[in-house]
Amino acid sequence: MQTYPPQERFYEEEEEQDVHLRDYLLILRKRKSILFTLFGLVFLTTIILTYSATPIYTSSVEVLIERNRGASGLESTSYYSYDPDFLETQSTIVRSAKVARRVVDSLKLASTYRGYFLEEKKAEPSFFNNIAAAISESLGSLLASVKKLSEESTNQGTGGTPVASEPMRDEDIIAAMIQGRLVVTPLKNTKIINISYSDRSPAIAKLIADAVAKAYMDELLDMKLATSRYALQWMTAKAQEERNKLEASEKAMQEYMRANDLVTIENKLAIYPQRLSEFSSQLSRIQTERQNLEGILRQVEAAGKNVAQLENIPTFADSAVLKGVREALFKARQNIGDLSKKYGEKHPLMIKANDELTELLTQQQAEVNRVIAATRNAHDLARSQEKKLEEQLAATKNELLNLNEKFIQYSIMKRDVDANRVVYEALTANIKKEGVTEQSQSVNVWVLKDAYLPGAPSKPNKRRNLILGLVLGLIAGVGCAFMIEYLDNTIKSDKDFESRYGITVLGTVEKLREKGKKIESYIVQKPLSPIAESYRLVRSGLLLSSPEQPPKTILVSSMGQGEGKTTTTINIARVFSQNSKKVLIIDCDLRRPRVHTVFSMQNDKGLSNYLSGTMQENIIHKVAGEEIFVITAGPIPPNPSDLVGSKRLRSLLEKMREHFDFILVDSPPVQLVTDSLALSHLVDGTVIVVKAGVTTYDMVQSGLKKLRDVQCRILGVVLNGVGKHHGGGYYYSGYSSYYAKDDTPS
């Protein structure tokens, strides 16, 4: 039995495969008509536009521009330490309408060269210029209509009368033309700009380029003079205003100081914080001392009369008197210990030693009491000092707060005075400075290179345009070819089909290119042709599709209409019959039968009559000259699906198996009706016919899912209508040349 790949295989994404250079070359060969068409159109358009364009000459001036740092007004010179937009700003001024108008006035272009500029458009236009002019005229009319409607609606809304716009003067028109042809380019990492002007006359290009540089310098000087005059007038009026404000603020501050006795306020403000800091430091120190003494007293109370514990307190341990007493006690006890080894307790020496020990203990207790009393006195003194310092600190804070309230108002008034004085002094200084530098420029300009008379046109660059046309044409053609190939979702080759679905391709049939020939009879007329050999390969694949014996009943179907299932059925039957085999073709396409048309048979009686029970006589027809028998579809019934699924068809197939070697069943497409799904249970296997360049992968995937759902046994696929551009070009080229020798008459 044939093994099938798992059903999930048809829903997995296509595995990534290595793409070789020859795959790209095959795509370009396949889409060569689109590639060459786009390439030719782009390149031809480039040639026409290049050689029909009017030559344009360009002349340029190089100008060095630096900011005059000594000519600043109110601004600080440090403001200009870094200004990345300076050259861009100056370039915009060069391209401005005022500079262009200066050029027109200085060269008298509106009078001397009026005919050159204003009648330029009346020259004989080219074909492309005519097209551009027509488009511009249409757009201009449309914009004019929209503008007119807008103005009318505005006038109606405001209730006013329409105001006629003033026509542009010749000077303005020529200035606008100069602006459009002027190109200003700042040179990277320099303070130099390049001013270029393009025109159809080289002399005019040089003349205007020089004039633009001079007009730019004149415009800068006018801008500076106008700015200086306005700034001087403004600063003079502003200085008088600030002077009045300064005098008023000084008088107000003086009256406030007199009313609140603030003559020595700054000295007081310096003393009080210092005193407050000293009191805070003393209070902190006394509080720390008191807390330490309180800790010692708590330890004394905890020790009670236990002298040994009292001596462990640091204050008692550090006492020199107690240290001497402790040493004497140690020696006395040591002496008693030594004497007790020799004498009894009543011995005079023992009595004397005990008396000395008692005296020392009395001294120790007296010293302990003295230290305790001294600690208590020190604690009481610290508490008293702490209270006094707290009172002095509170009094100082109150005095400082009262003084601060007065000083805040004083500071506010003093700041006003200082601010008014700074503004007034700055204005006064700048008035003097502006008067001195009124005639100086804020920008220095030098012409580094004068305009030259161009000897060759700058536009069009024929060599560059032709190279660009070649490149763009090639890119457009190749890009379009790959885009169409990417969007093409149809099956292209047997290799793609087998790698995606894992189903054997029994054979590929080349597309018939001979006009007037029908592929159904082609293999009979030319049995040694490549197409005939393709069907023989399909026959071999079917004979080897089963390990035990070849399938006897074969269903032939397709995914959609026009994919060649009927043609494939007939040609497979013919190659089977060439081996002296009896072959029966049953046309089960009861909706659109075609087998009878190919064999020129009557279709008034056939399978539909037999299945419906209206006819019992023999419905088998023999093809003249061939071992092929046909059961035509018969009249189209109203219920084809019911007839195909009837038991009579099953019994008919069983009966025919006894009389024929092979039975080929032509069925409707899988995607359109369910007839093929029902017929697949009655045969040994199914052959799917797909057409290269027509059948899509989506159609195949959906159809195979339906067949798998009904447990259909698929023998293989026949790829029909394969051309040289579908991946088998080299194969068919050599194959055709090989069989051409056999087809040539001897």
CB contact set of 248 (below 8 Å; sequence gap of 6+):
none
pLDDT at 740: 44
Intra-chain end-to-end CA distance of the chain, in Å: 47
Task: Over range 697-705, report the average pLDDT.
Answer: 87
Percentage of the chain modeled with pLDDT above 90: 9
Residue in 655, 649, 567, 665 with CA at minimum distance from that of residue 608: 649
136 versus 270: the higher-pLDDT residue is 270
- Give the C-alpha separation, 221 to 605, whole Å: 107
Residue 26 has pLDDT above 50, yes or no: yes
Residues facing residue 662 across a β-bridge: 583
Q: What is the pLDDT of residues 521-549, one digit of tens each?
A: 777 778 788 888 888 888 888 888 877 78
What band does 19 get if pLDDT is binned at 50, 70 and 90?
Answer: low
Task: Over range 568-577, report the average pLDDT.
Answer: 90
Residue 139 has pLDDT above 70, yes or no: no
Q: Where are the beta strands (DSSP E) in 119-188?
A: 182-186
Residue 127 has pLDDT above 60, yes or no: no
Residue 262 has pLDDT above 70, yes or no: no
Tokens found for residue 33:
């008509």
728 versus 327: the higher-pLDDT residue is 327
pLDDT at 11: 40
Whether the Cβ atoms of residue 182 and residue 94 lie closer than 8 Å to each other: yes
Q: How many CB atoms lie within 10 A of CB 722?
A: 25
Q: Which amino acid is at 467?
A: I
Q: State how far the alpha carbon of 160 is from the alpha carbons of 154, 157, 166, 253, in Å.
A: 9, 8, 18, 59
What band does 486 get if pLDDT is binned at 50, 70 and 90?
Answer: confident
- Give the C-alpha separation, 284 to 295, whole Å: 17
pLDDT at 686: 92
Residue in 705, 589, 675, 690 with CA at minimum distance from that of residue 636: 589
- Give the C-alpha separation, 272 to 274, whole Å: 5
If you ran DSSP here, which 8-state letter would residue 695 be given?
S
Look up tokens 């006094």; give the residue.
388
Look up tokens 């300009």; give the residue.
445
538-539-541 Cα angle (round to 5): 65
Residue in 700, 725, 728, 706 with CA at minimum distance from that of residue 14: 700
pLDDT at 197: 92
Whether the Cβ atoms of residue 668 and residue 591 lie closer than 8 Å to each other: yes
Whether the Cβ atoms of residue 678 and residue 653 lie closer than 8 Å to each other: no
CB contact set of 572 (below 8 Å; sequence gap of 6+):
535, 538, 539, 542, 554, 556, 664, 687
Choice among 358-362, 427-431, 500-504, 569-573 with the minimum mean pLDDT: 427-431
Q: What is the pLDDT of residues 93-102, one digit of tens each?
A: 999 999 999 9
CATH 1.10.287, domain 265-436, yes or no: yes
Average pLDDT score over the chain: 78
If you ran DSSP here, which 8-state letter would residue 57 be given?
E
- Give the C-alpha separation, 195 to 209, whole Å: 7
427 versus 705: the higher-pLDDT residue is 705
Q: How many CB atoms lie within 10 A of CB 200?
A: 15
Whether the Cβ atoms of residue 602 and residue 734 lie closer than 8 Å to each other: no
Q: What is the pLDDT of residues 27-45, one digit of tens each?
A: 788 778 888 888 889 889 9
420 SS3 class: helix
Residues facing residue 505 across a β-bridge: 717
Sign of CA dihedral 152, 155, 160, 162: negative
Counted residue by residue, the chain has a size of: 746
Query: Regarding beta strands 192-199 and 57-67, do their DSSP bridges make them parallel or antiparallel, or are they unpaired?
Result: antiparallel
What band does 6 get if pLDDT is binned at 50, 70 and 90?
Answer: very low
Whether the Cβ atoms of residue 564 and residue 21 lie closer than 8 Å to each other: no
pLDDT at 676: 86
Q: Could you state, in order of their start, the residue ranges of all structural domains in the chain?
A: 27-69+83-156+167-229+446-463, 265-436, 491-512+538-720
Q: Which amino acid is at 676?
A: S
Whether the Cβ atoms of residue 583 and residue 664 lie closer than 8 Å to each other: yes
Q: What is the CATH number that goes with domain 491-512+538-720?
A: 3.40.50.300
Sign of CA dihedral 32, 34, 37, 40: negative
What band does 554 get if pLDDT is binned at 50, 70 and 90?
Answer: very high
Q: Which long-range contacts (CB under 8 A, 24 or more apart) does 13-19 make?
A: 14/499, 14/500, 15/499, 17/499
Q: What is the pLDDT of residues 66-107, one digit of tens each?
A: 887 654 444 444 444 456 788 888 889 999 999 999 999 988
What band does 736 get if pLDDT is binned at 50, 70 and 90?
Answer: very low
Choice among 2-11, 136-145, 564-573 with the minimum mean pLDDT: 2-11
Percentage of the chain modeled with pLDDT above 70: 81
Helix ranges (DSSP H) in 182-311:
202-259, 265-303, 307-311
Whether the Cβ atoms of residue 721 and residue 522 lie closer than 8 Å to each other: no
- Give the C-alpha separation, 394 to 276, whole Å: 9
Tokens found for residue 253:
């501050």
Query: Regarding beta strands 57-67 and 505-510, do their DSSP bridges make them parallel or antiparallel, or are they unpaired?
Result: unpaired
pLDDT at 300: 77
- Give the C-alpha separation, 178 to 216, whole Å: 14
CB contact set of 54 (below 8 Å; sequence gap of 6+):
200
Residue 348 has pLDDT above 80, yes or no: yes
Task: Over range 463-469, report the average pLDDT.
Answer: 88
Q: State how far the alpha carbon of 670 is from the alpha carbons of 193, 666, 746, in Å.
A: 74, 12, 46
CB contact set of 457 (below 8 Å; sequence gap of 6+):
55, 56, 57
Residue 161 has pLDDT above 60, yes or no: no
CB contact set of 117 (below 8 Å; sequence gap of 6+):
109, 173, 174, 177
115 versus 725: the higher-pLDDT residue is 115
704 SS3 class: helix
Residue 365: burial class (beta carbons within 10 Å; 0-12, 13-18, 19+) = middle
Residue in 656, 662, 612, 650 with CA at minimum distance from that of residue 634: 612
What count of Cα atoms within 13 Å lies in the side-chain half-sphere of residue 92?
Answer: 5
- Give the C-alpha separation, 668 to 587, whole Å: 9
DSSP string, 228-260: HHHHHHHHHHHHHHHHHHHHHHHHHHHHHHHHT
Which of 224-228, 674-678, 738-742 is most confident?
674-678
Choice among 312-326, 333-347, 541-555 with the minimum mean pLDDT: 312-326
